[in-house]
Amino acid sequence: MKPLIERLRAIVGDDGVLTSGAALAAYEGDASQDRGAPTVVALPRNAAEVAEVVHVARQHSLPIVPRGAGTGLSGGAVAVEGGIVVATTRLNRIRRLDLANRLAVVEPGVVNAELTKTAAPHGLYYAPDPSSQPACTIGGNVAENAGGAHCLAHGVTTNHVLALEAVLIPTGQVVRVGGPAHDRPGYDLMGLLVGSEGTLAIVTEITVRLLARAEGVAAVLAAFDGVVPASEAVSAIIGQGIVPVALEMMDGMTTRAVAQGAPASLPEDAGAVLLIECEGLREELDDKDGPLATVQAICRAHGARDLRIALSESDRNALWKARKSARGALGTLAPNCYVHDGVVPRSKIPTLMARIEAVAAEFDVPIATYLHAGDGNVHPNVLFDARRPTEVRQASAAGEAILRACLDLGGVLSGEHGIGTEKQDYMSWALTTTDLRAQAHVKLAFDPDEQLNPRKLFPTPGFCGEVRGASRPPREPAAQR
C-alpha cells in the first residue's frame, strides 16, 4: 500500500491523494443504494496526471473508477471492487467560451449549473439541465448521457457534446474525438463514449454547444384530478404538433410533498400537475392561436381545474425550483427512496401509471412518481425504510415489477440515470445474449483487461471475461506446436 500511495502523491501532490477512513467513506457511494470502499482516491489536475494514475493502477493491478460529484442514481461511481477512484474535483475549469461559435470547452469536473451561470451574461446557456444541476458535473453528465426537464425540445447531453478528450485504458494514451465541425469521418466514437457510464475511457475535456436564450418564455402549471387526464393532455399537446421545451408531470403524492416546502405554492389537492414551458418570439406566445394558448386550451379540455401562467423569470424559476426539488421533498415521506428511470412510449403513460398503482398495492409500498412526460421517461420513487428487511425486499420487488412493466409496454430500462450496478441484473431482459456479447466486444476493445469501472452494466460479473475467452482462437494441441 505504501509504494502505491507514494507513487500517487508524486503524481498529483500530497493534497491530491485521499487515504483516511473518513475521506474514503465520503467516496463509498453515490445517490443510489449501492456501496463499495475505494482503496484510495486520486484527484488529478490534468489529462497527463490522469494518464500517470492509469499507469500506476496498471502496475498495481487495481481497478480505476472515474467519479464526478457522486450524484449518480445507478451506482456508476461506486468502487465495487475497490481500487483507485479518479475524482474530477480539481479538473473543474471552464477553459474557453467561444461566443462566435457558441461553444464552451470545459474540464469534466465543471458543475453543470456553473456553465450556464458563466454563459448567461452573453445571452447563452447549456441546455441539458438535470435536477441535480447545482451539484452534478459535466463529466458525469457525459458518462450518463444525462437529461433534464428542458431536454424535450433541445435534446439530451449527446445532442450538445461536440468533442471529447479522453484517457484510454490501459495505455494512458490521450485521444480526441469529435470536433467543432459537423459530421466527422469514421466511426462515431464520440457518440459511443457519451453514455458509456465511465466504462470505456476517462473523459478529461468536453466541448459543448451553447444555446441562445429565446426572446419569450412562459410556463404553464395545470392541476388535474389524476394522472390519467394529465397524461392524455400530454399526448394531445404533442399530437397537435407542439413541442414545448419542457413537459413535466408530478403525481398527487409528489405534488403534496413538494408543496410542503416550495415557494411556488403548488395545489396540494391535485391528483397530478403538469408543468409546461413554451418558448419563442414574444408575438408567438401572445398569439391567441399560438402554442401557449393552444396548450392551455388542451389542458382545459382534459379537465385541468387550476391553470396558472408564469411569465416573469422569478415566477418561472419558483415553479422550476419546486419541480426540481421533487426527489429531495420525497425524503420527508420516508427514510429511503428507490428511484426508477424507465421509459415507455408516450401513449402508454396512462397504462404504466395504472400498473404502478397496482404494484404499490401488491407490494404494500408507497410509490410517488414524477416524469419527463413529454418523452415518456418515468421516475417512480419506491419509498421504504432500509432498516426494515421486509420493506427492503418489497421495495426491490416493486421496482423490478415496474421495470418489467416498462419493457412489456415497449419501453426501456433507463432514460437517463444509466444501468450501473442497480439495473445490470435486468440487462438480459432487455437485450439478447447476442446483443450483450456485441456490447462486451466494444468494452473489451477499449479496456481489454476490464480494469476501468469493472462489474458495471453487464448482467453477470464474469460476462465480458466469458466473451473474451470465447472469442480467442482455440489453442493448438501441445504436440502440434
If the CB atoms of residues 343 and 359 are measured against ligand FAD, the closer one turns out to be 343
Least gap, CB of 151 to ligand FAD (angstroms): 8
Least gap, CB of 326 to ligand FAD (angstroms): 8
If the CB atoms of residues 16 and 148 are measured against ligand FAD, the closer one turns out to be 148
If the CB atoms of residues 113 and 307 are measured against ligand FAD, the closer one turns out to be 113
Place of cell 442514481: 73
If the CB atoms of residues 191 and 216 are measured against ligand FAD, the closer one turns out to be 191
Q: What is the 3-state secondary structure (H, E, C) of the chain?
A: CHHHHHHHHHHHCHHHEECCHHHHHCCCECCCCCECCCCEEECCCCHHHHHHHHHHHHHCCCCEEEECCCCCCCCCCCCECECEEEECCCCCCEEEEECCCCEEEECCCCEHHHHHHHHHHHCEECCCCCCCCCCCEHHHHHHHCCCCCCHHHHCCHHHCEEEEEEECCCCCCEEEEECCCCCCCCCCHHHHHCCCCCCCCEEEEEEEECEECCCEEEEEEEEECCHHHHHHHHHHHHHCCCCCCEEEEEEHHHHHHHHHHCCCCCCCCCCEEEEEEEEECHHHHHCCCCHHHHHHHHHHHCCCCEEEEECCHHHHHHHHHHHHCHHHHHCCCCCEEEECECECCHHHHHHHHHHHHHHHHHHCCCEEEEEEHHHCEEEEEEEECCCCHHHHHHHHHHHHHHHHHHHHCCCECECCCCCCCCCHHHHHHHCCHHHHHHHHHHHHHHCCCCCECCCCCCCCCCHHHHHHHHHCCCCCCHHHC
If the CB atoms of residues 141 and 296 are measured against ligand FAD, the closer one turns out to be 141
Least gap, CB of 56 to ligand FAD (angstroms): 17
Q: Which three cell numbers stand for residue 476?
A: 493448438
The residues of the shown chain that bind ligand FAD, judged by CB under 6 A, are 30-31, 65-73, 76-77, 88, 108, 130-132, 136-137, 139-141, 143-144, 146-148, 197-198, 202-203, 327, 416-417, 453
C-beta separation of 12 from 46 below 8 A: no
Least gap, CB of 223 to ligand FAD (angstroms): 22
Least gap, CB of 72 to ligand FAD (angstroms): 3
Beta bridge partners, 452, equal 64
If the CB atoms of residues 274 and 285 are measured against ligand FAD, the closer one turns out to be 274
Amino acid at residue number 320: W
Least gap, CB of 377 to ligand FAD (angstroms): 9
Q: Which three cell numbers stand for residue 265?
A: 405554492
If the CB atoms of residues 36 and 70 are measured against ligand FAD, the closer one turns out to be 70
If the CB atoms of residues 363 and 463 are measured against ligand FAD, the closer one turns out to be 463
Least gap, CB of 87 to ligand FAD (angstroms): 8
Amino acid at residue number 350: P
If the CB atoms of residues 3 and 331 are measured against ligand FAD, the closer one turns out to be 331
Least gap, CB of 32 to ligand FAD (angstroms): 9
Least gap, CB of 157 to ligand FAD (angstroms): 8
C-beta separation of 414 from 340 below 8 A: no
If the CB atoms of residues 165 and 232 are measured against ligand FAD, the closer one turns out to be 165
Least gap, CB of 314 to ligand FAD (angstroms): 22
